[in-house]
Every structure is written in structure tokens, then in C-alpha cells.
Amino acid sequence: MDRLRELFALVEVNGTTTAKAIQARIASSGICLDDFRLASTMAKLKALGKRKIDFAGFSALVGEELLMLSRAFKRQLVIPDWQEFCTDIETVFKHVAPDRSGSNADYIPILRDADPEKWGVAICSVDGQRMGLGDVDVYHSIQSVSKPLTYAFGLAREGVEFINQFVGVEPSGRPFNSLELLPDQRPFNPCVNAGAIMMAGLVASGTPELDARQITQTIMDLWANLSGGIAPVRFSEETMLSERETAHNNFAIAYLLRGGRGLPRDVDLHKMMDVYLSCCSIEMNAQMLSIAAATLANGGVCPITGQQVLSTDVVKKTLSVMQASGLYDNAGTFTLEVGLPAKSGVAGAVMVVIPNLMGFATFSPRLDAYGNSVRGVSFCAQLVDRFTFHIYDSLSGGRSGCKRDPRASQHSRKQRDLTDLRWAVSHGDRYATKVRDLMLDCMVAITLADGEIEAPEIASMAEAYAEIMGERPDPQDLQALAEATQAQGAEAPFDALLERLRQELPLLDDNGRELILESAFRVACADGEIEPEEDLQLRAIARALAINEGVLELEIARFQRRLTRPS
């Protein structure tokens, strides 16, 4: 079929379609309807109103932005199943929401009085697929989230050699506002106050003709480009004035820097401080920060405008610094647990980059002892517990705790592995046969849990097996297997199963373990619900297979959604 016709077929009913159907298809791919890349298509659709659109009309409509439209229509974006991914994220979002520990920063009124209940998560993929949950439109000062980008700004303008003379790149292991410096009197890195103050001085010293506010404006312009111009980058005078009134410690740092190696190009200390404090007082929201993070994840090219905002080399250096020092003196633990470049700020934002996949930003004002948003850090940890997003998850050698991976490339790899496994079973491969046998054992043990084997149970077992392995087993064989298991006298076939799974575990890779859990899952859910007893069984099987509890929860939530979704 002609490729244009293929696209049309995705939205057509009886030879015509509507603007609404086209918009729905685009939106479900994760592309927003106000995306600049589809602006002219959207304008034409709007003009059409409710009118029916035939193939000729469709062709005329989409020509100009065909490539983008085609990728969205055919789910060829970096996260192909965007809807599924969004609902998984929602599960994590809700999981974190009840956490009310920590407290707002209280050194200035505007932060002290911010609503601590606010909680938002925004995501933007490197293909510009976007989602937002909760308070993602609330503007807040970006505070220390500004620091890595002031560094990037300086790197882009001055080059790394010049910047290196004034600011180090070593993790400090000390609180963000520490007065301590490296032995050569340079600040440890650009993500702690001393380094960011020096960076402000470097930037300010490069344009002596501009005042502090104008210099801040050039950095705000960078933020606007990074965030694709979806909303204005604001400046909070109130924050700036309070910051200046309370900046005694930061002034101490500034004097120390001037007394040590001296300030770059003899920049005025007060101007340097004004630029630093102004950068903290820039206001953005989580939606905007998520796009900025996605621009970094995408090597400096903003996913929704296509603009190369920073060079890839500058982004590489910026991410390296964020990875080593982005979360104050908790950066080492964060790298261990989450393994992603990130930057937090005391207003409650965390901006996180997953290179080549997406950026995200969280907002929740209550902070932990290190000054990081409690919910933000917890969201990151829970996300990485469920998805293979930790930088070293790629090391897992097929044993990641069966974490999910929404990337298109991984999706096709999974399909291929599954096809291979099916094929290998049919040829008697030892490993594949083991997985197959354990799947059957799981199904039987769950079926026998109520002590009997009924014909409908055998039928649903056969059905589940056929769906997974693509081959329908003989119900009589299943019946015989179940009877044999029962006859072995194992009073508790389920306990025996768990023991067997634990024994076999060292030999099973993620694919095998996933299939075994899936077979258990399908049998447990065959009657259309997961009863408390079945829930316990599934959790026990997941534990025996060393599958992360969070991953199982995603699976259960997906199943429940399928039940409630109108077909």
C-alpha cells in the first residue's frame, strides 16, 4: 500500500477521518498538539473544524510536516508505547505522593511560605514526547538548578581551559555552602556555591559593558532556548531581594575567592554576586525544566524546536559535572542509587537527564537534610528500581531484576529474544526447555493452590501458554502434569515450586524469569481479577525469581487498567 494511504488507514473510518481523530492519534504518541513541529498541520486541522476529511484532503493536509506526522502516527518515536509508559510513571508518581517528610527551605520568606504540598513530575523524551503529572505549571525559583547551566554558558563562551583555571571539577563531599576550597584555592566544582559564584564572576567578567541584570538576561535566554520557548522564563525580584539580604555566607565565599586566586579579569565582587543571586532567582516550572533536561539528554539539540542550543561537547562536560556533584554532598549516594546526572535546588526542583532517552523534572518543596527535594529524590530512586535507567544497568548481563525498558531498541530486542526462545524450545534447547518447564510448573502450582484441577482451569492454562509461547499445548498433557504434581503428594505444591525457582535462579536470565512470572500472572488473572491470595502468590514468585517488587507492581497496575479500560 502507498505509504500515505497506510497513514490514512490509521485514522480512517469508512473512507474519511476527522481533525479530532488525527489529533488523537498524534497526542497518544506523546507529541503535544502545540508542538512547533506540527504547527502548520494543527492550524489546518483547526480551520477544518468538524468537517470530514477524505484521502485527498488528508494528503493535502499533512504534506509539509509529513516526516514528523508519520513518526508520530506509526509510533516510531524513542518510546514507542508512550501511553503505557505514562501510566507506569503515574504509578510511581502516586507511590511517592504520600511522603510528607522533610521541610521547606526557610532562609527566605518566599521559600519558607511556598505550599509544601505541591508535587509535580514532567517528562520530555529526546523525540519531544511530553507528559506532566500534578503541579508542573507552578513557577518556582530554580536556585541551584541554575548552576550547571551557568557552567555550560561559561564553557560555551570561554572554552574549557580558561574556565578550568578558576573552577575545579571535583566532587566536594561537603555542604553546598561550604567555604572550603581545593588546595590550589579553586572551588571544588561549579555545582557548589563557591564554584557557581566563581562561574558568575567569569560570565560577568566577559561582558563588562552589561550590568548584572542584563547578564542574567543572557543566561535566561539560554534557559528559554533549552526549554523550547514553551513558556516565558521569569525573574523573581522578591527572591533576588531576599537572597541578597541573607547572602552573608555567599559574600564570605566571594571575599575568600577574591583573596585567594583573585577574581577573573578583576570583575567587581558585587556584580559577580548579583549575577550569582539573580541566576538563583530565575523562575521556571517543571514542564520547562523537563524540556531543558531533554535538550541535555539530546546532546544539546532541543527536541521540540530542533535548535542546537549547546554543543555536544559542552553538554558532555556539563553532564559529567552534574553526575559527580549535582546533589550536594549526597551526590555519591545518588550516583550509586540512581546513577544519573541531575541537579537539585532548594526551592524543591530536581532536574534529571537520561542520556539519549529523556529528561525529567520534579517539583516538591520539602527538602531532606542535604537540601534535596525528598519526593524528587524518592521518585528518582523508585523510577530506577523499575526501569533500566541507571547508567550501569547496561552492565546487568541479562539480570537487572527484570526492570522495564521503554526504548524502541529494547522493545525489538525483547521480541527477538522471545522468538528465539520459542524456536529453541521446539528444538529441545536445554535452557529454553528449562524455562518452559518452570513456566508450566508455575501454572500448575497456582492452579492447584485451591486443591483441585477443574477443566476451565486447564483450558485457561492452555490459553495462557499459547499466548506466551505461540503454540497450544494439548490440554490432556496439562491435565496429566497437574495430576502428577498432585500425586507427588506435595501437600504444598506452591512451596515446592518456590524452592525450585530459587534453586534454578542462578541459571535464569531476565527474559526467562519474565516469562515465568508472566505465565504465573496470566493464570492468576485468568478469572479477571487478582484475589488477595493470588497477589501473595505472585509476590512470592517474583521474590523467588529476584524480580524487583516495583516491577511487579507496575505489572499488577497494568493488568488492573486493562480490566477497567472500556474495550
Size of residue set near ligand GLU by CB under 6 A:
11
Q: Compare residues 250 and 400 and give the one whose CB is closer to ligand GLU.
A: 250
Identify residues 349-378 at the interface with ligand GLU (CB under 6 A): 371
Q: Compare residues 373 and 447 and give the one whose CB is closer to ligand GLU.
A: 373
Q: Compare residues 226 and 346 and give the one whose CB is closer to ligand GLU.
A: 346
Measured from the CB of residue 160, what is the shortest distance to ligand GLU in angstroms?
Answer: 24
C-alpha of 350 from chain center? 12
Q: Which of 462, 493, 458, 464 is nearest to 479 (CA)?
A: 458
Q: Compare residues 74 and 112 and give the one whose CB is closer to ligand GLU.
A: 112
Q: Compare residues 68 and 280 and give the one whose CB is closer to ligand GLU.
A: 280
Measured from the CB of residue 250, what is the shortest distance to ligand GLU in angstroms?
Answer: 5
Candidates 29, 193, 364, 373: give the one binding ligand GLU (CB under 6 A): 193
- What residues have CB less than 8 Å from 505, skipping those under 6 apart? 513, 544, 545, 546
Tell me, what DSSP letter sits at residue 282? E
Under the binding rule (CB under 6 A), the answer on residue 176 touching ligand GLU is: yes
Under the binding rule (CB under 6 A), the answer on residue 154 touching ligand GLU is: no
Q: Nearest 5°: CA angle at 224, between 223 and 225?
A: 90
Contact status, residue 542 vs residue 434, Cβ threshold 8 Å: no
C-alpha grid cell, residue 139: 513557577
Measured from the CB of residue 370, what is the shortest distance to ligand GLU in angstroms?
Answer: 10
Beta bridge mates, 217: none
* Sheet with 234-235: strands ordered across: 140-141, 282-284, 234-235
DSSP3 helix / strand / coil % (the chain, rounded to 5): 60, 10, 30
Beta bridge mates, 344: 350
Q: Compare residues 34 and 245 and give the one whose CB is closer to ligand GLU.
A: 245
**In Å, how far are 223, 278, 404, 500 from 192, measured between CA atoms?**
20, 16, 34, 52
Contact status, residue 186 vs residue 253, Cβ threshold 8 Å: no
Measured from the CB of residue 142, what is the shortest distance to ligand GLU in angstroms?
Answer: 8
Q: Compare residues 346 and 542 and give the one whose CB is closer to ligand GLU.
A: 346
Measured from the CB of residue 144, what is the shortest distance to ligand GLU in angstroms?
Answer: 3
Measured from the CB of residue 145, what is the shortest distance to ligand GLU in angstroms?
Answer: 7
Phi, psi of 137 (to 5 degrees): -105, 5
Under the binding rule (CB under 6 A), the answer on residue 278 touching ligand GLU is: no
Neighbour-count burial for 247-274, b at 16+ CB within 10 Å, e otherwise: beebeebbebbeebeebbeebebebbbb
Candidates 144, 178, 290, 323: give the one binding ligand GLU (CB under 6 A): 144
Measured from the CB of residue 193, what is the shortest distance to ligand GLU in angstroms?
Answer: 5
Contact status, residue 143 vs residue 192, Cβ threshold 8 Å: no
Identify residues 239-258 at the interface with ligand GLU (CB under 6 A): 243, 250
From residue 101 to residue 140, what is the string marking binding to ligand GLU with x (rule CB under 6 A)?
A: ----------------------------------------
Measured from the CB of residue 109, what is the shortest distance to ligand GLU in angstroms?
Answer: 13
Measured from the CB of residue 365, what is the shortest distance to ligand GLU in angstroms?
Answer: 12
Contact status, residue 384 vs residue 337, Cβ threshold 8 Å: yes
Q: Compare residues 62 and 350 and give the one whose CB is closer to ligand GLU.
A: 350
Helical segments of 269-391, H only: 269-280, 286-297, 312-325, 331-337, 374-386
Candidates 148, 201, 345, 355: give the one binding ligand GLU (CB under 6 A): 345
Q: Compare residues 345 and 401 and give the one whose CB is closer to ligand GLU.
A: 345
Q: Compare residues 143 and 323 and give the one whose CB is closer to ligand GLU.
A: 143
Question: In angstroms, rounded to a whole number, what is the distance separating the alpha carbons of residues 187 and 330?
Answer: 18
Measured from the CB of residue 345, what is the shortest distance to ligand GLU in angstroms?
Answer: 4
Q: Which of 172, 108, 99 is nearest to 362 (CA)?
A: 99
Q: How long a stretch of residues is the chain?
A: 567
Q: Which of 122, 93, 88 is nearest to 405 (CA)?
A: 88
Q: Compare residues 12 and 243 and give the one whose CB is closer to ligand GLU.
A: 243
Measured from the CB of residue 280, what is the shortest distance to ligand GLU in angstroms?
Answer: 4
Under the binding rule (CB under 6 A), the answer on residue 280 touching ligand GLU is: yes
Candidates 17, 41, 129, 143: give the one binding ligand GLU (CB under 6 A): 143
Under the binding rule (CB under 6 A), the answer on residue 150 touching ligand GLU is: no
Q: Nearest 5°: CA angle at 413, between 409 and 419?
A: 150
C-alpha grid cell, residue 394: 547496561
Candidates 346, 352, 445, 516: give the one binding ligand GLU (CB under 6 A): 346
Under the binding rule (CB under 6 A), the answer on residue 88 touching ligand GLU is: no
Q: Compare residues 72 and 377 and give the one whose CB is closer to ligand GLU.
A: 377
Q: Compare residues 201 and 371 and give the one whose CB is closer to ligand GLU.
A: 371
Question: In angstroms, rounded to a whole number, what is the distance separating the alpha carbons of residues 123 and 304?
Answer: 13
Measured from the CB of residue 518, what is the shortest distance to ligand GLU in angstroms?
Answer: 44
User: Exposed, middle or buried by CB within 10 Å (0-12, 13-18, 19+), for 163?
Assistant: buried
Under the binding rule (CB under 6 A), the answer on residue 177 touching ligand GLU is: yes
Question: In angstroms, rounded to a whole number, what is the distance separating the alpha carbons of residues 278 and 502?
Answer: 57
Residues that bind ligand GLU (CB under 6 A): 143-144, 176-177, 193, 243, 250, 280, 345-346, 371
